[in-house]
Each structure stands twice: as C-alpha cells, then as structure tokens.
Chain A
C-alpha cells in the first residue's frame, strides 16, 4: 500500500445554472484514515462527495482516485472505481420494496457468485456488525431513522470496499443514536482498516471519529488539517463554527487537553 493519497481534488469547480457551488476546491484524502468535511448545510458537501464516485461531473478541475481522473473517466473506468467504494447516503437510500437484509445482500447478487444462502449469511454478518442482528426480515418501512442509516452502512460495506463515503451519518438522529453511529464508525475503521470520508455538519461527531478535518465554506475548503491543526485554526469562520457548538469549550480556551 502506498503513501500517496487515495483521492485528490484539484481545483474543482461546479455550478448549477447560476448557482456556483464549488469554487475551486483542492485537497488530498490520505489512505487508511478518516477524513471529515464539515460545513453549514447547503454549502455543497453532498455535491463535493458525489464528485468522488462520478455521480456529478465538475465544470472544471480533476478528481483523482489513484490514477483515474473521475472528471474525464470512461464509463468502464467509473465502474471499476465504484466497485472499490461503498457509500452511505443521507437518508439511507434503502430500497423500499426489499427487507432490511435484502437491501444489505443486494450488491452481492450483482457482484458476486454467491448462492442465496451465502448472500444471506454475509448480510446477516454485516447486520450484526452494525449492531442490528436478527433484523434481516424486517421490512424497510418498519425501520427507525437510526436503523435505516445502520442498514445503509451495512450495505455500503458488504462488498468490503477500500473506501467508504458517509454523507451525514448523524443528521436527523438523537444524540444517543448519533454517538452509537460514531462509535460504530470508529470501531469499523480499526477492525476493517478502510479509508473513510465523512461529510457532516456536526463538529462533535467530527472530533469523535476524524483523523483530519476540512471545512467547506462558500465553495472553498477554507481550512484543512489534522484535528489539532483544525482546532487551532486562526480562520475566523472556523473559530466561529467551533464556538457555536455548545459542547465545546470557548474557542479562546484550550480546546483539547495537552497530551
């Protein structure tokens, strides 16, 4: 495994009509770590992450995934990249006509030669990993918001991808459930050794799980670095964002205890 970043944004611009969402975003995402991108809602975090797997194409710039530029990749190159990725969508994006377990087993049906019994066993294993054992036959409509996200997470990792993208894993959840998801992400990173990219507007969650944090604001990544660097940012907007979070000490005080 190389030290080169697994994902690399180079001066990415993206507009929808007259709405300019990304105005030149450049940064590297290291392999095997958890990178969090925060920012107020509506700044383009989802837009940013969708560029990584080619769900959106930039107006200009490059998104390198190893040596493939997703901005100019062929359909088959995109497919090859996507097979290395899992993604948890904001609302879970589960298929309503399938049960929880069938949703998890779904990618196996199309990308492996497993028998139905093997697929079921694998899906049950992943459901247990996200702490939802025995929910295979539960209809999707009967799941709570937190359960949906966890089933979505199980589906995202069922093919054991190298990289998992999370779009707001905590949004819409109560603090307890939110903490459970954070703990789950932390544990999975240790157990599975994957690269995680987490989009969130929740700074607490960021501090819980991230190795590196970036802040997207007004179309640009205005701060990007290790958690320590981020907490000591001298950018007014970053400090403002940190200060507004009730669970944190005031930005003027020591933000993290010295080692």
Chain B
C-alpha cells in the first residue's frame, strides 16, 4: 500500500517534470555542463571496474571452456556476457552510485534549506531548473560511457587471453566479432539510454521529497541508489529478453 502510494507520487512527479520540460526552453549550456560533470564523476571508476571485469571474464571463460577443449570460445563468452550484459549494467551501477547519489543529495539539501521554495517564489520552475539539465546531461553521456566500458573490458579480456592464458589472439577476435555485430553496440546504448532516464528521475524524485531533519538527506541518497540500481537490473533483464533473445553465435 505504501509502495503503491509512493509509485503514484513518482508518476505525478514525472508528469510534472515532463510538463515543465515541454513548456520551457531547453537549458542547453547547463545540460552540457551536467553531462561533463556526470562523465567526469563516473569515468575513472567505470574504467577501473570495466578493465577488471574484462580480466575475470577471460579467466572464467577459460575455466569453463578449456576442460572441454573449447578455449577458443572465450571471445564469444566475452562478447555475450561482457558486451551485452555487464557493460550496460556496470555503467548503470557506477553512474547510479556516483552521479545519481550526487543528484539526490544536492537536491535534498536544496529542499531542506528551502532553496527549492525560493526558486518557486522567484517564479522559476524548479523541476525545469533542477531536473531538465541533469536529465539531458545523463542521456548525452550514458551511451558513450557504455561504448567506453565495452571497449575497455574487451581490451583487458583480450590481453589476459593472449598474454596470460596463451590463447590465439586472432581466434579470440574471430569468435568475438562473429558473436557481436555493430547492432549490439546500438542495443547497448539503447539500454544505457533507458538506464539514464531511470537513474535521473529516481534520484531527483528522492531528492525533491527529502524529509527535513538530520537523516533526510542521507535517507534520500540511500533510497536513490538502491531503487535506481534495482530498477535498472530489472529493466536490463526485460530488455535483454526483447533485444537479444535467440541471437547467439
């Protein structure tokens, strides 16, 4: 019952935001600034995590296939698991953890310090002023971050496969490219696009509805990362089913 009411309020919030965005000019300069901020915040951790997920995909792919004599398939494993699933999910998690929590806490602080009320009294729409640039910014930056993550984990798994596991590099690439096609990159970017929508709206929602008092900001920040990461994971499952079902080697 409580969750249902919360969901209803979220719907109302999204509708308010949509109307505000549609009836105001797009804040171009501030959106680009946000995109830059979100990218800078999330990129270092994303590079590190992607690189080490790539190394381990190669190791575990090798563990799985080598006993059967199928070590050549490591490239395929990396393509299916890494490119299609882990890269978009890693991007979603890292951006939710870094940029999403920052959105939630910044907006929550503005709420409890009456800065959002001040915007209203100054006749400046706070949904447009605070959310629209973050929304455009995250949508601009998530697809390229996904491509960067895919590239990083592919390179690191290639290096581990060839230098450490002694696999044939040409074979790795052959299986890799047989399994993935350029469309997969597009699909991953579509995933990332929807993850961006979720992360931004959920984080801003919790920020806007922050309770005052010492725990308000912390609670809003926590809820934002939990709810947006879980929602992205669920959506990832649904979208993989829709986008990739039946499309293997």
Contacts and interface: CB of A to CB of B under 8 A. Distances in A.
A53 B121 contact: yes
Contact of B113 (A53, A86, A87, A93): A93
Nearest to A79: B123
A160 to B, nearest CB: 14
A50 interface: yes
B122 interface: yes
A195 to B, nearest CB: 15
B22 interface: no
A85 B115 CA distance: 16
Interface in A64-115: 79, 82-83, 85-87, 89-91, 93-96, 106-107, 110-111
A55 B113 contact: no
A55 B122 CA distance: 11
A53 B120 contact: yes
B118 interface: yes
Contacts of B115: 93-95
A50 B110 CA distance: 17
Interface residues of B, number: 12
A226 B77 CA distance: 82
Nearest to B120: A55
Contacts of A93: 113-115, 117-118
A90 B122 contact: no
Nearest to B23: A75
Contact of B117 (A83, A89, A94): A89
Nearest to A158: B122
B124 interface: yes
A90 B114 contact: yes
The bracket for how many chain A residues form the interface is 20 to 34
**A93, A96, A111, most chain B CB atoms within 10 A:** A93
A37 B115 CA distance: 23
Contacts of A106: 122
Nearest to A94: B115
A110 B126 CA distance: 13
Interface in A28-63: 50, 53-55
Contacts of B109: 96
Contacts of B120: 53-55, 82
Interface in B82-116: 109-110, 113-115
A106 B124 CA distance: 10
Contacts of A82: 120-123
Contacts of A111: 122-123
A110 B118 contact: no
Contacts of B113: 91, 93
Contacts of B121: 53, 55, 82, 85-87
22 contacts: A50-B117, A53-B121, A55-B117, A82-B121, A82-B122, A83-B123, A85-B121, A86-B121, A89-B114, A89-B117, A89-B118, A90-B114, A93-B113, A93-B114, A93-B117, A95-B110, A95-B115, A106-B122, A107-B122, A107-B124, A110-B123, A111-B123
Given A79-B123, A89-B114, 15 more contacts: A50-B117, A53-B120, A54-B120, A55-B117, A82-B120, A82-B122, A87-B121, A89-B118, A90-B114, A91-B113, A93-B115, A94-B115, A95-B110, A107-B122, A110-B122
